[in-house]
Structure 1
């Protein structure tokens, strides 16, 4: 399955709302920027952690480890935002 096909499969149901095209664009952009930022921070922090550990700089390695865990948490929350948006749209459609 391709990535666009997968995104259509797990994407929220925007048909239940008026003005759904603007909402779709806003949510899609925010999720994209959030995930790109989280993945870049995971790469940067893991590389910094490795370099800091190899050079014996425990302060740098410790800060990079905390940054890595924060970035993983951010990626998880950003991914979970899609499920939360689906739930809110389902609740809103039944009201």
Structure 2
């Protein structure tokens, strides 16, 4: 029987890599908020100017930016969940 677990201290630089990944997650969340604001503005312009194509693009952007924020926020939980599923196989 082989029993191997992730080793958080096995290689130098692991802690710095965690800091970098956390910073990238923060940048992703900030960009999601920016995309949400821009998409909402586009949606509003499209709705007020009777331009259904522009309004549709704005709605799609709002949904995409919310989806990106969900993925950024839940990424650690998703990876841990699938890690546990893989360990149960």
TM-score calculated relative to the size of structure 2: 0.72
Q: Which runs of 5+ in 1 are unaligned?
A: 1-15
Q: Which structure shows the bigger proportion of residues in helix conformation? A: 1
Equivalent residue for 1:75? 69
Write the mapping of 1:5-44 to structure 2, written as runs, cut at 5 A.
17-18=8-9, 19-44=13-38
Give the aligned CA root-mean-square deviation in angstroms: 2.1
Q: Which runs of 5+ in 2 are unaligned?
A: 1-6
Equivalent residue for 1:5? none
Larger RCO: Structure 1 or Structure 2 (Cα < 8 Å, ≥ 6 residues apart)?
1
Q: In structure 2, do the counterparts of structure 1 residues 28 and 40 end up closer, same or farther at CA, with 3 Å as the change threshold?
A: same
Equivalent residue for 1:63? 57
Larger radius of gyration: 2
Deviations 1:27-51 (A, max 9, x none): 1111011101101000110111011
Q: Which 4+ residue blocks in structure 1 deviate beyond 6 angstroms?
A: none
State the number of aligned residues: 75
Equivalent residue for 1:11? none
